[in-house]
């Protein structure tokens, strides 16, 4: 599994959801904040994305056209409307709400039609992976002929499943939404100029840093040191440590600890793996060593964390 996929998977706390939204002017829809991230794709017509109540200045007003994609990193509240002055309805449990049903939401009058795909992802924003934290709060991918062919194909497939749900749709839709997220982020990363890219956008392209990240993700239990990771990267110890910290945002061994703890937390949330095995898979020699490191990072013992998150 690659670094981008694992970083997003590590934050997943529930099933993604999506709904097809059909509006006829005049129409407006207020989307409440969601515990994760959200996206919109304009399939037909035009609309505006506007700041929600209390979020002025944090979400810019953007005119959207056919094929445009927007991604909101932190699921902030916002408004979709055919025009900034149109009346606004509340979304309730529809559209981008994380528990949205598969199907279509219709609203508005009898004017020009706009068709959108709207969706949301449950992501743990309390402990976000630094890759997600470095993304812009809002990513806008304007439609361009021939651009993002894989993203376009995923959008078409998802739109068909939502417009005409059939046997298997409840299994297919979450997989397509997951794919859409990866295609959106891949498209944004590809858009970053190679000579000015910074942070994780640069790290994932830098063969030296990317190879070290892959090594950590592939085997977090290995006794990695700055020297051994530098060997993987083909750089001097000092040069590697400096480049890694500049791009990833923290030193190599700090990121190693972060990923070990992230891996442990995911195992505790999603499986009944014994603590001794969790310790072994994350590079800690004993349950005691794991417990000490985990409590320092999460503020509670592994067993308590497992019980609390299973109850939630």
Q: What is the pLDDT of residues 133-185, one digit of tens each?
A: 889 999 999 999 889 999 999 999 998 988 888 999 989 998 999 999 999 99
Q: What is the pLDDT of residues 213-261, one digit of tens each?
A: 999 999 999 999 999 999 999 999 999 999 999 999 999 999 999 999 9
Sorted by where each begins, the domain ranges of the chain are: 3-191, 201-311
Residue 61 DSSP class: -
Q: Under 8 Å CB-to-CB from 266, ≥6 apart: which residues?
A: 9, 10
pLDDT at 92: 54
Fold that domain 3-191 belongs to in CATH: Jelly Rolls (2.60.120)
DSSP string, 118-169: EEEEEB--SS--HHHHTS-SEEEE---TTS-HHHHHHHHHHHHHHHS--TTH
pLDDT at 168: 92
The C-alpha atoms of residue 283 and residue 256 are separated, in whole angstroms, by: 10
Q: What is the pLDDT of residues 28-86, one digit of tens each?
A: 999 988 888 999 999 999 999 998 765 544 567 999 999 999 999 988 899 999 999 99
pTM: predicted TM-score of the whole model, two decimal places: 0.86
Q: What is the pLDDT of residues 70-120, one digit of tens each?
A: 999 988 899 999 999 999 988 754 444 444 446 678 899 999 999 999 998
Q: What are the backbone dihedrals phi and psi of residue 149, each rounded to the nearest 5 degrees, phi first?
A: -60, -40
Cα 74–Cα 78–Cα 83 angle in degrees, nearest 5: 145
Dihedral sign from CA coordinates of 184, 185, 187, 188 = positive
Q: What is the pLDDT of residues 268-286, one digit of tens each?
A: 988 999 999 999 999 998 9
CATH of 201-311, one of 3.40.50.11270, 1.10.240.10, 3.40.605.10, 1.10.10.60: 1.10.10.60
Cα 125–Cα 38–Cα 115 angle in degrees, nearest 5: 175
pLDDT at 257: 96
């Amino acid at each position: 599994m690659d670094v981008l996929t694992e970083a997003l998977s590590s934050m997943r706390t529930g099933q993604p959801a999506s709904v097809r939204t059909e509006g006829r002017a005049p129409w407006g829809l207020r989307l409440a904040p969601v515990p994760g991230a959200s996206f919109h794709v304009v399939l037909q017509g035009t609309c505006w994305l506007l700041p929600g109540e209390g979020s002025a200045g944090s979400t810019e007003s953007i005119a959207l056209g056919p094929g445009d994609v927007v991604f909101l990193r932190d699921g902030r509240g916002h408004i979709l409307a055919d025009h900034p002055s149109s009346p606004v309805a509340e979304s309730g449990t529809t559209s981008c709400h994380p528990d949205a049903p598969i199907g279509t939401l219709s609203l508005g009058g009898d004017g020009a039609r706009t068709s959108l795909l709207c969706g949301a992802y449950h992501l743990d924003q309390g402990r976000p992976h630094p890759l997600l934290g470095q993304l812009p709060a809002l990513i806008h991918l304007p439609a361009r002929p021939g651009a993002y062919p894989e993203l376009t194909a995923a959008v078409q497939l998802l739109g068909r499943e939502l417009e005409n749900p059939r046997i298997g749709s409840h299994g297919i839709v979450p997989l397509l939404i997951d794919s859409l997220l990866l295609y959106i982020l891949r498209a944004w990363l590809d858009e970053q100029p190679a000579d000015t890219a910074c942070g994780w956008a640069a790290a994932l392209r830098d063969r030296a840093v990317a190879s070290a990240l892959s090594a950590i993700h592939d085997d977090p239990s290995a006794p990695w040191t700055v020297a051994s990771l530098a060997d993987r990267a083909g750089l001097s110890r000092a040069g590697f440590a400096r480049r890694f910290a500049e791009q990833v945002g923290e030193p190599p061994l700090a990121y190693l600890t972060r990923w070990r703890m992230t891996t442990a937390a995911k195992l505790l949330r999603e499986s009944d793996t014994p603590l001794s095995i969790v310790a072994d898979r994350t590079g800690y020699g004993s349950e005691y060593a794991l417990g000490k490191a985990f409590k320092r990072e999460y503020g509670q013992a592994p067993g308590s964390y497992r019980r609390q998150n299973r109850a939630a």
